[in-house]
Amino acid sequence: MMLELKMPALSPTMEEGTLAKWLVKEGDSVRAGDVLAEIETDKATMEFETVDDGVVKSILIAAGTEGVKVGTPIALIEMEGEAAEAVPAPAKVEVAPVVAAPAPAPVVVKVVAKVEGNRIKVSPLARRLAAAKGVDLATLKGSGPNGRIVKADILGAPKAVAASVPAAVVTDGATPHEVVKLSGMRKTIARRLTESKQQVPHIYLTVDIRLDALLKLRGELNEALAPRGVKLSVNDLLIKALAVALARVPACNVSFNGDTLLQYRRSDISVAVSIPNGLITPILTGADSKSVADLSTEMAALATRAKEGKLQPHEYQGGTASLSNMGMMGIKQFDAVINPPQGMIMAIGAGEQRPYVIDGALGIATVMSATGSFDHRAIDGSDGAQLMKVFKELIERPLGLLV
């Protein structure tokens, strides 16, 4: 039986992708579980496996092809030991005796990510609201039972037109330049950050935080953890501090969602990691309740996989708040852009020795500036301030991070 391999939808909203690489060639025998190809979406490269044994008869889409629509046939596979039925195939492929086969092509592949069907689950009211507002249902993730799109999802959704890409900048053509094609990731970054700055009213709150106690504790912990091969970074402790602070000030662990507010019961911290040609935010789920040693180990693994482009969607999609640290690059202080639908992001500046008033006398302390950006639709200034206070206290009296 000849089977058409189609471009899979690797996420519910994926419409097209890049066929980055074929790992098999025509004539190869493949067994269930073999990886056939790597497919690049806007954020990640995913592996594409077979679930059946067979022979790759024909590759229809060449490696490196961009913008392959979901559902497009990309290869033909002849299943082992069966030649009684066939599906219509392009002429250039030789197929087994043609016997009428009205049955639809069975699914022969599974993808690492979960494939959703084409049916959009949506309430009647949400469908009508979407039509009235011009919201594309296919772009939404439903918050109702089993992902059903409900009224609240529509009210919180951007209009289809608002999501369109801004017009290309026209240059005068005089300045020597090259045109560099945007990667899927760069397009996503551009779209999301534009949405954030256009739609989310940001409020910025900055505090100075003494780091001496945290640095001392880190030194002691690292001595103790050395036999376990764990080396905590300052960033690991800051992630923990943010997670605990969000748990203590739940008013800041929220998402604005139209006429509702999502109140999270867990602190899932997205940590900005620079990778070649972009940025990705792997998530430390439940960081408020994990030990700093576990967080450190998990963060190191996520960062490595992020740099290899191997993160799975669930590892970078979601999160309840973000942390971005530019201290290692010598940045004293900065205001980060919120990553919607999250309600806040913490921007960390460099820890540096500064003149500092300690017990009424001028001394020298290691101090850093941290700036929280908050979605002002969902979070009041006083709640944001409370979060910054708790964050500061946790760092200045860091034993609170361990219990």
Partner 1 sequence: MSDQFDLVVLGSGPGGYVAAIRAAQLGLKTAIVERESLGGICLNWGCIPTKALLRSSEIYHYMQQAEKYGLTVEKPGFDLAKVVARSRGVAKQLNQGVTGLMKKNKITLYFGDGKLTAKDSIAVTKDGQVTNVTAKNIIIATGARARDLPFAKADGERIWTYRHAMTPPEMPTKLLVIGSGAIGIEFASFYNDMGASVTVVEMLDRIMPVEDADVSEFMLKALTKQGMDIRPSTGVQAIKTSAKGVTAEIKGADGKITEEEFSHVIVAVGIVPNTENIGLEALNITTDRGHLVTDAFCRTNVPGVYAIGDVTGAPWLAHKASHEGVIAAEHIAQGLGKDVHPHAMDKANIPGCTYCHPQVASVGMTEAKAKEAGHKVKVGKFPFIGNGKAIALGEAEGFVKTVFDEATGELLGAHMVGAEVTELIQGYVVGRTLETTEVELMQTVFAHPTISEAMHESVLAAYGRAIHI
Does residue 250 touch partner 1 according to CB under 8 A? yes
Is 314 marked active-site?
A: no
Does residue 161 touch partner 1 according to CB under 8 A? no
Give the shortest CB-132-to-partner 1 separation in angstroms: 7
Q: Which stretch binds partner 1 (CB under 8 A): 87-95, 112-120, 219-227, 260-268?
A: 260-268
Does residue 265 touch partner 1 according to CB under 8 A? yes
**Distance of alpha carbon 54 from alpha carbon 82, whole angstroms:** 10
Does residue 129 touch partner 1 according to CB under 8 A? yes
Give the shortest CB-262-to-partner 1 separation in angstroms: 8
Give the shortest CB-393-to-partner 1 separation in angstroms: 17
Q: Which stretch binds partner 1 (CB under 8 A): 23-31, 87-95, 124-132, 162-170?
A: 124-132
Considering only residues 6, 57, 151, 305, which one is a binding residue for partner 1 as defined by CB under 8 A? 151
Does residue 21 touch partner 1 according to CB under 8 A? no
- The footprint of partner 1 on this chain (CB under 8 A) covers a number of residues equal to 17
**Is the CB of 172 or the CB of 259 nearer to partner 1?**
259
Considering only residues 29, 139, 198, 263, which one is a binding residue for partner 1 as defined by CB under 8 A? 263
Considering only residues 62, 100, 132, 180, which one is a binding residue for partner 1 as defined by CB under 8 A? 132
Give the shortest CB-369-to-partner 1 separation in angstroms: 29
Give the shortest CB-243-to-partner 1 separation in angstroms: 13
Give the shortest CB-125-to-partner 1 separation in angstroms: 4
Three-state secondary structure string covering the chain: CEEEEECCCCCCCCCEEEEEEECCCCCCEECCCCEEEEEECCCCEEEEEECCCEEEEEECCCCCEEEEECCCEEEEEEECCCCCCCCCCCCCCCCCCCCCCCCCCCCCEEECCCCCCCCCCECHHHHHHHHHHCCCHHHCCCCCHHHCECHHHHHCCCCCHHHCCCCCCCCCCCCCCCCCCCCHHHHHHHHHHHHHHHHCCEEEEEEEEECHHHHHHHHHHHHHHHHHCCCCCHHHHHHHHHHHHHHHCHHHCEEEECCEEEECCCCCEEECEEECCEEECCEECCCCCCCHHHHHHHHHHHHHHHHCCCCCHHHHCCCCEEEEECHHHCCCCCCCCCCCCCCEEEEECCCEEEEEEECCEEEEEEEEEEEEEEECCCCCHHHHHHHHHHHHHHHHCHHHHCC
Does residue 124 touch partner 1 according to CB under 8 A? yes
Residues contacting residue 335 through CB under 8 Å, at least 6 positions apart: 202, 204, 347, 371, 373
| Residue closest to 221 by CA, chosen among 145, 320, 294 | 294
Does residue 95 touch partner 1 according to CB under 8 A? no
Does residue 125 touch partner 1 according to CB under 8 A? yes
**Is the CB of 74 or the CB of 244 nearer to partner 1?**
244
| Residue closest to 372 by CA, chosen among 206, 220, 251 | 206
Does residue 305 touch partner 1 according to CB under 8 A? no
Give the shortest CB-240-to-partner 1 separation in angstroms: 16
Does residue 128 touch partner 1 according to CB under 8 A? yes
Give the shortest CB-252-to-partner 1 separation in angstroms: 13
Task: Show contacts with partner 1 in window 331-390 (CB under 8 A).
Answer: none
Whose structure tokens read 């772009």? 139
Considering only residues 108, 247, 344, 387, which one is a binding residue for partner 1 as defined by CB under 8 A? 247
**Distance of alpha carbon 320 from alpha carbon 338, whole angstroms:** 11
Binding mask 103-122 for partner 1 (x = CB under 8 A): --------------------
Pairing of strands 260-263, 29-30: unpaired
Does residue 260 touch partner 1 according to CB under 8 A? yes
Q: Which stretch binds partner 1 (CB under 8 A): 47-55, 231-239, 259-267, 380-388?
A: 259-267
Q: Where in the sequence numbering do the catalytic residues fall?
A: 376
What are the residues binding partner 1 (CB under 8 A)? Answer: 123-126, 128-129, 132, 145, 150-151, 247, 250, 260, 262-263, 265-266
